[in-house]
Structure 1
Amino acid sequence: MFKFLAVLKTLLLGAVLATSLQAHAQAQPAIKVVYHLSDGIPQATRAIQNIRNHLAADPTAKIVVVTHGAGIDFLLDGANNSNGQSFAGAIGDLSSKGVGFFVCNNTLVSRNIDASKVAMEAKVVPSGVAEVARLQAREGYVYLRP
């Protein structure tokens, strides 16, 4: 009987501890991350896989992708990776999981690209670098550059 009570006590203590750890984990704010892209299609391909892995490990992460220069290329109509696969599906999938995409207007203007050519999931911001700085300084985002 004594062994039974000891086992029961251990199980109850374990359940209380597990519940406490789960509550603590849920009480933590989501980690906010800005992925900064400026190097074109190969970097975007790496970033998409990194973001998928990131969300698999931490589905609560709040992720945004800020692009400028050649980094915007994967967010333009008809963009394909080096294997000829369209980025549209990956962008749509990640967007449905809460990932935000931002495109630098300065880049659009300097490259004479109409904003209508940008993927519908993406938002145009005045300056990509200024957006990265704002997210880090004012919003508490962690900076990643794949």
Structure 2
Amino acid sequence: MIRAAFLLVLFAFSVAAGAAQKEEKVVYHINDSTNATVALQNIRNHMNASPKAKIVVVTHGPGIDFLLEDAKDKNGNPYDIMVQQLADSNVQFRVCNNTLEARNISKKQLLPEATIVPSGVAEVSRLQVQEGYAYIKP
């Protein structure tokens, strides 16, 4: 009886320890580049607090604008430096191909850190449903 109780406690502890080790996966959804500076700062803060977090930024519509070559914030600061720093920390940036086509934007205009997905909204959904990502909308 004592042995069974010990094994039950040991099992419960190992399950709890496994839950504590669960990978943190987050998708940041940006569909308006006027929020890009705040979003990038939030992501940087997130990475500082949780360096092992797996973060994917999905953009569509006007949200892709900060990932275009020579894009600058309202103060004239280029986005490319912060995007590159975050990408160096394994943050991924994904851009909606539907948006590129609808707006006649060449893929060559994207920052090199950005990758293209067929649909931004479908990518947000896929990451949540199929891969268990938490959703953040800055």
Same fold by TM (over 0.5)?
yes
* Counterpart secondary structure, 2:44: helix
TM-score using structure 2 length: 0.85
Equivalent runs, 1:93-108 vs 2, <5 Å: 93-108=85-100
Q: Which amino acid aligns with 1:105?
A: N
For the pair 1:45 / 2:32, whether they are aligned, the reply is no
Specify which of 68, 72, 77 is matched with residue 85 of structure 1: 77
Name the counterpart of 1:30: 23
Specify which of 101, 105, 108 is matched with residue 109 of structure 1: 101
Deviation for aligned residue 1:116: 0.7
RMSD value, Cα: 1.7
Q: Please list every run of at least 4 consecutive aligned residues from structure 1 whose deviation after the TM superposition is greater than 6 angstroms.
A: none
Deviation for aligned residue 1:39: 1.1
TM-score using structure 1 length: 0.80
Structure label with greater radius of gyration: 1
Q: What's the CA shift string for 1:101-130, capped at 9, x where partnerless?
A: 000000000000001101101100000000
Identity of aligned residues (%): 55
For the pair 1:75 / 2:41, whether they are aligned, the reply is no
Structure 2 regions of 5+ residues with no counterpart?
1-16
Name the counterpart of 1:3: none
